[in-house]
């Protein structure tokens, strides 16, 4: 279906753009940034409010739902936002389509891989590492 005069402004950007997926990537970067504004401040304030930064204190903090749940959200959203951001940099500076797709693939793999390690570590702490 071609983009005709009857299409809406949203319909004109869906599926196109420099990375061929219109405005969705752009919108997700902003939504995750708003979430990270809250979660990033939560992390800094939480660390500053802890009486000490030794392993026992950190473990107790992350075993409580008030620590574990925001931390899980922070991990997932920070990795999504980071991979999106790095892909944007690749889109802007890598001219060759093949290299661009390869780098996007590497970023996706590395992001999901490292993010999973972080989530697994958090789960292990939250459910009782000793």
Contacts of 115 by beta carbon, 8 Å cutoff, 6+ apart: 75, 76, 79
Binding mask 22-61 for other proteins (x = CB under 8 A): --------x--xx--x--x---x--xx------x--xx--
Closer residue to other proteins, CB minimum distance, 3 or 117: 117
What Cα–Cα distance (Å) separates residue 1 from each residue in 17, 20, 36, 87, 128? 17, 15, 37, 28, 55
Binding site for other proteins (CB under 8 A): 18, 30, 33-34, 37, 40, 44, 47-48, 55, 58-59, 62, 75, 78-79, 82-83, 85-86, 89, 91-93, 95, 97, 114-115, 117-118, 120-122, 124-125, 129-130
């Amino acid at each position: 279906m071609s983009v005709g005069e009857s299409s809406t402004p949203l319909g004109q950007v869906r599926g196109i753009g420099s990375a061929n997926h219109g405005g969705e990537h752009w919108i997700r970067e902003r939504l995750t940034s708003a979430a990270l504004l809250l979660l990033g401040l939560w992390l800094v304030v939480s660390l500053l409010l802890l009486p000490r930064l030794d392993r026992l204190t950190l473990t107790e903090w992350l075993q409580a739902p008030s620590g574990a749940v925001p931390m899980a959200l922070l991990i997932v959203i920070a990795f999504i936002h980071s991979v999106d951001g790095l892909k944007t940099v690749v889109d802007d500076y890598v001219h060759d389509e093949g290299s661009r797709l390869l780098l996007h693939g590497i970023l996706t793999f590395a992001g999901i891989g490292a993010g999973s390690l972080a989530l697994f570590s958090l789960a292990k702490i939250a459910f009782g590492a000793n």
